[in-house]
Amino acid sequence: MDRNSNTYTFIYAAAMVILVAAILASAAMALRPRQDKNVEIEKMQNILASVNIESTFETAGNIYADKIRNQYVINSKGEIVEGEDAFEIDLKREKAKPVEKRLLPVYECQTESGLKYIFPMRGAGLWGPVWGFISLNDDMNTIYGANFDHQGETPGLGAEISTNWFQEEFKGKQIFDQSGTLISITVTKPGQEAQKEHSVDGISGGTITSKGLEQMLLEDFKSYEEFLMKKKS
């Protein structure tokens, strides 16, 4: 057949597209269960990391079952919503709703230094979403640990939010000021130490990611504010 005829070209293109689609679709379907499992384990690892518990890919499931004693869903008024599984809540969907309608997951973890509350968060970085888990001491003010992750921030710049040195900075910081107002944590340029207990050093070359993270912390702590107040008093 003439390789330059229209018929040949059309048939070739159609056959190629169908073949490629079939290969890709079956690969995606065959690998999906493994991929979902990986994402789930990673989430457990991240939750554990926010209370400063190291886990490997293999051990995460067991440690999680052992340490995370209680998980539940609340609304913005701080009341427990029955019949929801905290682990299954999709933060991306929840953040799209107005704050009064959001389902907010809370995890409780028993550690040697007392009960810790873990709050998941999600916001926008430079190239895509950033998210994380923050744990508070039972005074509902002092940060016990933090873990952040991102979809596609630039390595060496914005992606530094998921490194240890950055996350370590959050430990011991306070989210309420002395008059009891929720001010969250600001990410500032190194050297500006106006409010040391409420700020961490930002990332050189990662300003937009840092600001996005700051925004996320403020917004999401706000949605938990009623719950924090209730537990505090």
Interface contacts to other proteins, rule CB under 8 A: 3-4, 8-9, 12-13, 16-17, 20, 23-24, 27-28, 31, 34-35, 38, 42, 57, 127, 151-152, 154-157, 204-205
**Shortest approach of other proteins to residue 205 CB, angstroms?**
5
Distance CA 150, CA 140 (A): 26
Question: Please, which residue, 10 or 93, has the CB nearer to other proteins?
Answer: 10
User: 164-174 burial, b for 16+ CB within 10 Å, e for fewer?
Assistant: eebbebbeebb
Question: Please, which residue, 108 or 201, has the CB nearer to other proteins?
Answer: 201
**Shortest approach of other proteins to residue 4 CB, angstroms?**
6
**Shortest approach of other proteins to residue 105 CB, angstroms?**
23
**Shortest approach of other proteins to residue 196 CB, angstroms?**
16
CB atoms within 10 A of CB 218: 16
Question: Please, which residue, 156 or 172, has the CB nearer to other proteins?
Answer: 156
Distance CA 107, CA 134 (A): 10
The beta strands (E) that lie in the chain are given as 68-74, 80-81, 104-111, 114-124, 129-136, 143-150, 186-188, 199-201
Question: Please, which residue, 101 or 189, has the CB nearer to other proteins?
Answer: 189
Question: Please, which residue, 109 or 159, has the CB nearer to other proteins?
Answer: 159
Distance CA 81, CA 123 (A): 23
